[in-house]
Amino acid sequence: MTADRDPVQRATGDDDRDLYDVATWEPRSRLDRASAWLYGALGTGARAGVVALATLIVVAQFAAATGLVLVDRPVVGIYVLLSVVPALAVAGYIWRADASPQEPLELLVATFALGFLFAGFAAVLNSVFSGAFFGVAEASTGWVAVVVPALFYFLVVGPVEETVKWLAVRLYAFRDDRFGAVVDGAVYGAMAGLGFATIENAVYVLREVVSVTQTAGGQPAAEVAFQVAAVRTFAGPGHVIYSAFAGYYLGLAKFNPDDAGPIVVKGLVVASLIHATYNTAVTSLGPVAEFVGLAQGVVFLAFVVVYDGVFLYVLYRKLTAYREAYVASGASEFDGDDDGGRYGDDDDDTAGRHDDTERLEPAVRRVEPERAGYSADSEASASTETSEES
């Protein structure tokens, strides 16, 4: 491993020799200070640029997919909001399962917003690559027609969508000192997934409503909105669960910097594989429904509940293991201490500071974890036209 100090620094120790610009550095000159300022400005500008680009993409998506649907038919907006309720419930459960002090509202809202905005990047990349993959699938027969779509989900959809949700955490909350425990990563990952699911559901519902309004003699728009929203209701929880896994490993990486890279990769691989397997299975449920003699909607519902339920349970076990370690180690007594602690110096009484009572609250009062019922994720439904990649 690379030494954290130059040999000259180690040799001179604590003597008074000035090694500025030789083996040490601090901003002394105007050029030094200008360089430090420019470095900070470039970092801030790059992050701001990413957010601005994501915002433009989202605005363009809504303009292309919705028109004035929400103005003319506000009930459609209500259906969209209701479709996100199960995802919100799962995110709330993960937030409650956090044994460490509760996360500040500012960071939760910011992460939700970034997950909402960054979904546009995933939509663009999925669209760019989908033509190539599905073009081959449509022109092929036999096993090629089955394998190629699966490759699309495993090589594009899963990695792309989980990475943009991961970036929604990494860009802002991760950099904050209040991201102070491994398990915080799961909470912020869940919030990024909730933001992603919200806009994805909205675009799916609104696009179908616009399509039906442009078709003479089609179904009433409100009826279509209800049907699509009912299917998309099962999409959100999966987004929350999968990105909570990636977020947990991001938190683990933050507090294990020597192995941060492999840990982050592991989290993204786990989330992407779960996600892609779900997509591949959901788009193949038609033959299964025919074989068992049940309606596609019934088979779809059963699969989603079982699949996402299994991984919600795995996540629950991981959060429970952290809670048990947190309580058994007495970590609540140290969480928030100064000198690098999570909420700054104990003498700081500014707004947003967690006092001693708040620091000692966490898992002791919640030793028995809640057993939340699980909902399921549907990126695509075999029973509606929304059965495309999530």
pLDDT in tens, 337-358: 443 344 444 444 333 434 443 4
Which range of 285-294, 348-357, 370-379 scores highest in mean pLDDT? It is 285-294
Q: What is the pLDDT of residue 62?
A: 62
Does 372 fall in a domain?
no
Confidence of residue 126 (pLDDT cuts 50, 70, 90): very high
Higher pLDDT, 175 or 377: 175
Does 289 fall in a domain?
yes
Cβ neighbour number for residue 238 with a 10 Å cutoff: 30
Higher pLDDT, 384 or 192: 192
Mean pLDDT of 311-330: 93
Mean pLDDT of 315-326: 94
Q: Residue 246 in contact with residue 165, Cβ under 8 Å?
A: yes
- Amino acid making up residue 184: D
Domain count, the chain: 1
Q: How far apart are CA 120 and CA 102, in angstroms?
A: 29
Q: How far apart are CA 101 and CA 92, in angstroms?
A: 15
Does 346 fall in a domain?
no
Does 261 fall in a domain?
yes
* Helix locations, 13-142, DSSP H: 30-66, 69-72, 74-83, 85-97, 105-138
Does 39 fall in a domain?
no
Does 78 fall in a domain?
yes
Which tens digits make up the pLDDT trace of 45-77?
Answer: 887 888 888 888 777 766 665 555 665 667 777
Which uninterrupted H or E stretch holds 156? none
Q: How far apart are CA 84 and CA 78, in angstroms?
A: 10
Q: Residue 234 in contact with residue 312, Cβ under 8 Å?
A: no
Does 388 fall in a domain?
no
Does 360 fall in a domain?
yes
Q: What is the pLDDT of residue 225?
A: 77
The predicted model scores a pTM of 0.75
For residue 98, the enclosing domain spans: 45-328+356-366
Q: How far apart are CA 204 and CA 227, in angstroms?
A: 11
